[in-house]
Amino acid sequence: MPFLPLRLAPLVLAATVALGGGATASVLVTVNKATQRMTVLVDGETRYSWPVSTGMKGYTTPAGTFRPFRLEEEHYSKEWDDAPMPHSIFFTPAGHAIHGSNATRRLGSPASHGCIRIAPANAAKLFALVSAEGLSNTKVVVTGGQVGRVARDQTRQARPPRLRPEPDYGEAAFGGPYYRYPATQSSVW
């Protein structure tokens, strides 16, 4: 086994680091559909926080943890009239991506067909970051429900079951209408 002289060890180490490209950072992109906000962390430190637009009613942005697998600087939607999708970071095989959008007035509310839209300048920054650090070092986490759903559910109050008159029974025999609770409860008179 050949032995390297001790004085060459630092040179070999420096050459290995230079050829290997140095250390890469871990990128975590978190999107909260309830707040319509994206947070980008690099090695656990918050780097960016931006408003987004996720899927509008009828068009779901899937929730879960994803590993992006494709980057396209200039992409046009094949499904939606060749709509521009600049700086696309694809994270599902179904075609969901994080990309820039000129519809910046809609950011902060659901407005897409399922993709995650961000402002064009922010899309360029995120694209450059993911390109530099690598797809394998990037994770996309999508959480939350639809905007307003939690508030609506919290204000909804339980109502007592409605009583419905049963026309076939008892007015003549019992002196008044017979009422029946919904199917989950028993009948009363």
Q: Within a domain: residue 19?
A: no
Residue 116 placed within a domain: yes
* 5 and 15 Cβ atoms separated by less than 8 Å: no
Structure token pair of residue 119: 């402002």
φ, ψ of residue 19 to 5 degrees: the values are -75, -35
Q: Check whether residue 28 and residue 69 sit in a common domain.
A: yes
Higher per-residue confidence, 155 vs 26: 26
**pLDDT tens-digit profile of 104-124?**
999 999 999 999 999 999 999
- Whether the CB-CB separation of 126 and 98 falls below 8 Å is answered with yes
Residues 186, 104 share a domain: no
pLDDT of amino acid 51: 98
116 and 78 in a common domain: yes
Sign of CA dihedral 51, 66, 125, 16: positive
Residue 18, domain member (yes or no): no
Q: 45-51 and 37-42: which strand pairing?
A: antiparallel
Q: Are residues 183 and 120 in the same domain?
A: no
pLDDT over 70 for what percent of the chain?
63
Kindly report, residue by residue over 72-93, the tens digit of the pLDDT. 998 888 776 768 899 999 999 9
Residue 3 banded pLDDT, cuts 50, 70, 90 = low
- The CATH number that applies at residue 113 is 2.40.440.10
Same domain, 172 and 94: no
Instruction: Supply the pLDDT for residue 189.
Output: 43
* Residue 69 placed within a domain: yes
Strand partners, 42: 27, 45
Q: Are residues 73 and 140 in the same domain?
A: yes
Domain shared by 39 and 116, yes or no: yes
Confidence of residue 2 (pLDDT cuts 50, 70, 90): low
**Single-letter amino acid, residue 83:** A
Between residues 141 and 167, the one the model is more confident about:
141
Residue 30 reports pLDDT greater than 50 = yes
**pTM, whole model, 2 decimals?**
0.66
Query: Are 91 and 51 in the same domain?
Result: yes
- 61 lies in some domain: yes
Among 9-13, 32-36, 70-74, 153-157, which range has the highest average pLDDT? 32-36
The residue range of the domain holding 38 is: 24-153
Domain count, the chain: 2
Query: 173 and 93, same structural domain?
Result: no
Does 138 reside within a domain? yes
Residues 60 and 139 in one domain: yes
Q: Please give the pLDDT value at position 79.
A: 77
In terms of pLDDT, which residue wins out, 145 or 153? 145
- Regarding whether 139 and 115 lie in a shared domain, the answer is yes
Q: Are residues 77 and 145 in the same domain?
A: yes
